[in-house]
Structures are given as structure tokens and as C-alpha cells.
Amino acid sequence: MKTKNIEIVLPPRPAHYVGDGFRVHNFIPSGFRADMQRMDPFIMLDYNSKFEFPPSEQPKGVGVHPHRGFETVTIAYQGKVAHHDSGGGGGVIGQGDVQWMTAASGVLHKEYHEEEFSKKGGFFQMVQLWVNLPAKDKMSKPKYQGIVNEEMGKHELPINSGIVEVIAGAYKDTKGPASTFSPVNMMNAKLNAGGKANFNFPSHYTTTLLVVEGNVKVNGQEVALDHFVIFEKEGESFEVEASENSIALILSGEPLNEPIAAHGPFVMNTQEEIQEAFQDYNIGKFGYLED
């Protein structure tokens, strides 16, 4: 099986705030190496690297805003987030949990630091990913998956190397609980110092890795904390080895290979569909959600 080599390693870009509760480094879309078409089906990735928020009586976050045409996936590494949407989905995700919201035909939602976390303050670390929907599913009914850590597939690695925690797709014979509209693999490699894990994905899949804790070697190349790896669309296998106790988020998905028209919170296939999304939002077709 041919090795899947690294195309580029991206350092974290300068952080910016989304609302007042998410201090993020944007990796997708970010220039020609990581634009939406190249990273398809992953069309946005914001990474809130480990950051300590002081106590606050007023929960920080992002107020009511719309989405259409894709899914938002929030992975909590530290801290807690409360989510509510106009489709009736919502809840609190804490350390190790995931919320997977299918915006599809359109929802309003809001995301805030969970109330008790906000009052106490503390370290906050999250990934928010946008996964594009196939054209045939963009106007399907919205839905919400709240995935707690206990529900995830857990594959024990040999020689006390650690575990691979599967959110979506599969690692060897271990499957993740998330329901997806196209082939998507999403997993955390939680490796002990010196631990190794080997991964195999189809050569044409878009495959990436984000180091969220520690430092790792990918095919023998050092990749530091908070750095983002984009693999070539050739070869199938690669190895991750932890230089210290580490966590790496692995993403691999089959490209949809469909036109992408994006504007703000809407990702469709044509500019006409984007205009329709704005019109539908303005006349209230996305429902109602109190700010």
C-alpha cells in the first residue's frame, strides 16, 4: 500500500474572535492550498486552541444566526458549550463530546459557553468544522446529533500506544456513531508518549490532521502543537507517532465534486440558490429562535 505523503503543514494563523466566546485560528478556507474546493467536503475549520476564559456572569458566545446547505460539527476538547436551534435541537456538550447539526434547508442557531462553565471560567478548546452536503440533500430536513464521549467507538492500539476514538466513519473494525450524508471519517488519535497508529484512507479522499495536544511525527516528520497537516491526494497509508502524550484529530472524506457557491452562512451550488437562501431567511422560513 502506497504511503500518503504530507502536501503541506500549516501553522496557526493569527487568532480572531467569532462572537465574544470563540477565539479561533482559521485553517479552512485559507488560501489556495486550503480553499473550499480543495478541501471538499470540509469547507470550514475553525480551531479554538487552548485558551483560558476568566469567570463571567454573562455567558460568552455567538447570538442567533442562520445556516443552510451544510452541517456544523463542534468537537469539545475542554470547556462546555450550550447550543439551541430553531429546528428543536440543542443541549450542552462537554469535554470529549460532539454536537453535529445538519442545517440542510435552513436553521437559526446560537452557541454560548455553558452557564456554570461561564461563571467559573477555565480552559476552553474546541474545533468547529463545516461539512458540505451533496446537492440532493441540501434542502433536506434539519436534524441534530448530540454525541457523548461514551457513545464513540474506541479502538485500543497495541503495545499501550493509546486509543483511536471514532466519531464518524471507521477505524479498522471500530465504527463511529455519527450519521453522515457522504463518506466522512472523523476520529481522535489519543496517543501515549511513543505510541503509534497507522491510518488508511482511499487515495482520492481529502485527508487532514490537526495536532490538538502534544507533538507528533507524521511519516517521521515532526508536526507541532496547533499545526494542521494537509495530505496529498495520492497514496493511502500514513503513520502518526506521539513524541509525548498527544491528541491528533484525523479527518478524511470523499470529495463531493460539485460546484460550491458560498456567501457567509450559506453554502449552496449556485449563486441563484444563495440569493434564494437570503430571501427565505428574510421572510422567516428558517423558523424562530429567541436571542
**For position 88, what pLDDT does the model report?**
87
CA distance 270 to 259: 7
What CA–CA distance (Å, rounded) separates 56 from 59?
Answer: 6
Q: Looking at the domain that runs over 12-151, which CATH code has it been given?
A: 2.60.120.10
CB 71 within 8 A of CB 112: no
How much of the chain, in percent, has pLDDT values that exceed 90? 95
Q: Report the percentage of the chain scoring pLDDT > 70.
A: 100
The domain ranges of the chain are 12-151, 152-255
Tens-digit pLDDT profile for residues 68-98: 999 999 999 999 999 999 988 888 999 999 9
Q: Are strands 107-113 and 228-231 parallel, antiparallel or unpaired?
A: unpaired
Residues in the chain: 291
Contacts of 246 (CB under 8 A, 6+ apart): 189, 190, 191, 193, 211, 213, 214, 215, 216
Question: Does the domain spanning 152-255 belong to CATH 2.60.120.10?
Answer: yes
Instruction: Please give the single-letter amino acid code of residue 82.
Output: A
CA-CA-CA-CA torsion sign (166, 227, 255, 69): positive
Average pLDDT, the chain: 96
Task: Check residue 291 and give its pLDDT.
Answer: 75
Q: Would you say the CATH fold of 152-255 matches that of 12-151?
A: yes
Q: And the C-alpha cell for 189? A: 488519535
